[in-house]
Amino acid sequence: MTHRDLLAQKIEQQTQTTGVVGLGYVGFPLAVEYAAAGCSVIGFDISSEKVAAVNRGESYIQDVSSVSTSPLVSSGKLRATTDFSEIALVDTINICVPTPLRKTKDPDMSFVVAATEEISRYLHPGMLVILESTTYPGTTEELLLPILERSGLKCGVDFFLCFSPERIDPGNPHFQTKNIPKVVGGVTPDCTELGRLFYQQALDRVVPVSSTGVAEMVKLLENTFRMINIGMVNELAIMCNRMGINVWEVIDAAATKPFGFMPFYPGPGLGGHCIPIDPFYLSWKSKQSGIEARFIELAGQINAEMPRHVVSTIQDALNKNAKPVKGSSIHIMGLSYKKNIDDVRESPALDIIHLLSLKGAHLSYSDPYVPTVEHEGITLKSQDSVEACESADCVVIVTDHDTFDYGRLAGEARLIVDTRNAMRGFSSDNIVRL
């Protein structure tokens, strides 16, 4: 039997050992799903704290419960290690490491390269390697393939290489790793087929595509689509504000059209690891081809300015109450980048806090998911929202967690700046909407 046939047989019989490099928001839920499906899973991470937590059966990811993790560890289906030599034991391995942007807005591929080089050291015939980290089109074949083929093994014959974009939406109660359709594209048709077969064992739906380049572009299209439309509606919000028009009412009315319109909503800025970052992979790659991604760059500029627009709105609202920002007590409601989660990566709340601190405001915040925060030399602890809102000169709703009591807030806060339309249904002179 060929290496392809032997691996396919292992996957179909679920006798393969699956490895996952990077046990964060993407890798850990994936490892849990495969262990739950009956596969033996080894998680790899440089963080000894994460590895120890996994091996205790404890989850540190909000969307994965320890109740589901612990039995998998106890049964021996799931374990974690910092020893990358154990890659030699696995038949399939998924790379789920960060791909941040440098300050110059070009991709930092150091984590992907480091993971791939470790895999290359222990690459063996009949192994499937899948990159899930979001990146620019061409990464899998231009960057990973040469590193892996240094081993002397040939892709598509001795080992198999795919790209499959992660589509995790933290805090989404309806769509998680198992039921989000999984796109996968391989370097060769056999690579694609093995990738499809692999994901089919644990996930509900697999969508094979013709190449790694198509699969890489899929994720960038998804998030660029969102980023550009959010940028458009953020610009519309600024226009409507100048014209004295309620942008939220405009969007609600437009959304009654049953075709040709999809509602997007303004906000204090973009957050999370995907939407603020992924489109710039595409922009960077386009520049290598001599094409300027003007829509992406413009939308990025508009979205990046939203925290400043929020601060300007706060300043105007306080001014109408005969108060300057300097010396005023300003309480931030919600610090995570979206509601009902604990993730503060790229959160606009951090930029708003930083900008207000530069203007001399006395700052506090409430967030049931984020007990403490350190940013740009500022250290704060989450406060009781009722007491803090009663004493604040201005309350700013940055993240609209469901646990906040907006009715009580409407009655007790002196001044509210609402960036999320959380005070929908409340009409008062002390509420200023974005």
Q: Give percent of the chain above pLDDT 70.
A: 100
Q: Which residues 6+ apart lie within 8 Å of 225 measured at CB? A: none
pTM: 0.91
Burial classification of residue 113, based on how many CB atoms lie within 10 Å of its CB (0-12 exposed, 13-18 middle, 19 or more buried) = middle
Give yes or no for a contact between 380 and 357, defined as CB atoms under 8 angstroms apart.
no
Residue 429 pLDDT: 84
pLDDT of 325 above 80: yes
Annotated domain spans of the chain: 3-210, 226-433
pLDDT of 276 above 80: no
Tell me how many degrees the CA angle 226-170-96 measures, rounded to the nearest 5.
90
pLDDT tens string 375-416: 888 899 999 877 888 889 999 999 999 999 999 998 889 999
Can you tell me the distance from the alpha carbon of 325 to that of 358, in angstroms, rounded to the nearest whole number? 10
Can you tell me the distance from the alpha carbon of 22 to that of 127, in angstroms, rounded to the nearest whole number? 18
The alpha carbon torsion through 428, 234, 385, 352 (nearest 10 deg) reads -120
Active site residue 274: yes
Written in H, E and C, the secondary structure of the chain is CCHHHHHHHHHHHCCCEEEEECCCCCHHHHHHHHHHCCCEEEEECCCHHHHHHHHCCCCCCCCCCHHHHHHHHHCCCEEEECCHHHHHHCCEEEECCCCCECCCCCECCHHHHHHHHHHHHHCCCCEEEEECCCCCCCHHHHHHHHHHHCCCCCECCCEEEEECCCCCCCCCCCCCCCCCCEEEEECCHHHHHHHHHHHHCCCCCEEEECCHHHHHHHHHHHHHHHHHHHHHHHHHHHHHHHHCCCHHHHHHHHCCCCCCCCCCCCCCCCCCCCCCCHHHHHHHHHHHCCCCCHHHHHHHHHHHHHHHHHHHHHHHHHHHCCCCCCCCEEEEECCCCCCCCCCCCCCHHHHHHHHHHHCCCEEEEECCCCCEEEECCEEEEECCHHHHHHHCCEEEECCCCCCCCHHHHHHHCCCEEECCCCCCCCCCCCEEEC
The structural architecture, per CATH, of the domain 3-210 is 3-Layer(aba) Sandwich (3.40)
Burial classification of residue 430, based on how many CB atoms lie within 10 Å of its CB (0-12 exposed, 13-18 middle, 19 or more buried) = middle
Written in H, E and C, the secondary structure of 326-352 is CCCEEEEECCCCCCCCCCCCCCHHHHH
At 250, which amino acid appears? V
Residue 240: φ, ψ to 5°: -60, -40
Other CB atoms within a 10 A radius of the CB of residue 58 amount to: 13
pLDDT tens string 199-258: 999 999 999 999 999 999 999 999 999 999 999 999 999 999 999 999 999 999 999 999
CATH topology (fold) of 226-433 = Rossmann fold (3.40.50)
Same fold, 3-210 and 226-433: yes
Give yes or no for a contact between 333 and 365, defined as CB atoms under 8 angstroms apart.
yes
pLDDT tens string 76-115: 999 999 999 999 999 999 999 999 887 777 889 999 999 9
Among residues 39, 162, 274, 394, which one is catalytic? Answer: 274
Can you tell me the distance from the alpha carbon of 128 to that of 252, in angstroms, rounded to the nearest whole number? 47
pLDDT tens string 144-157: 999 999 999 999 99
Residue 427 pLDDT: 80
Q: Give percent of the chain above pLDDT 90.
A: 82
Residue 112 pLDDT: 96
Can you tell me the distance from the alpha carbon of 199 to that of 269, in angstroms, rounded to the nearest whole number? 34
pLDDT band for position 168 (50/70/90)?
Answer: confident
